[in-house]
Amino acid sequence: MDEQVIGSGEKGQLVTFRLGRETYGIEIFKIQEVLHFREVTVIPNAPQFVEGVIELRDRVIPIVDLKKRLGVGENGEAKRRIVILDFDERPLGIIVDDISKVLLLEASQYEALPEPVVGDRTSNCIARLAKADDELIIVISPERILTRHEREILKDFEENNHREQMDAAASSAGAA
């Protein structure tokens, strides 16, 4: 999935949310929907980075706790939400503390991360910073929440889980 960057003079919308004490944001066109928090079902032998799954409109969606993923300290649970992202042409849910607001930003309000902060760009999902209302917002790139290797593991896990469900359905239909 290619990242779209707001060009000079263009405006873009950023959905902001809290993780601990900090404000983060994701460009609105990368978000499918925002849900009130619901319990996730923990799946045995799921990849370590997957918190669990939820069912949404007959689809099983893997859920990642973004605070754990980013190593952000625990600061209460506030009004936790699950943000459903369009991730590798299938949905992925992330748990956040609370949705703040949707901002309309100019290209000039975005800034690159300072070089010493960047770290390993292959696994770092922080794309850049945005400035709004005297606040710095950490902009997340959803396509970099998981590494390429983790995406492959997740895809294999989903395919194997789907295959097991189909086998179980066929077995129960044959037994009837």
In the predicted model, what is the mean pLDDT of residues 101-124?
Answer: 77
Question: In terms of pLDDT, which residue wins out, 77 or 3?
Answer: 77
What pTM value is reported for the model? 0.80
Other CB atoms closer than 10 Å to residue 88's CB: what's the count?
14
Domain 11-147 maps to which CATH number in 2.30.30.240, 3.30.70.580, 2.40.50.180, 3.20.20.450? 2.40.50.180
d(CA 169, CA 143): 33
The per-residue pLDDT of the chain, averaged, comes to 81
> Which pLDDT score, from 0 to 100, does residue 31 have?
95
Q: Tell me which of 29-33, 51-55, 120-124 is least confident.
A: 120-124
Confidence of residue 15 (pLDDT cuts 50, 70, 90): very high
Least confident of 87-91, 100-104, 127-131: 87-91
Per-residue model confidence (pLDDT) at position 25: 96
For position 50, what pLDDT does the model report?
Answer: 85
- Condensed to tens digits (0 to 9), the pLDDT of residues 58-93 reads 888 999 988 888 888 665 657 899 999 987 778 999
Compute the distance between CA of residue 17 and CA of residue 95 in angstroms, rounded to an integer.
10
Q: Using an 8 Å Cβ cutoff, are 110 and 128 in contact?
A: yes
Give the span between the Cα atoms of 59 and 37, in whole angstroms: 17
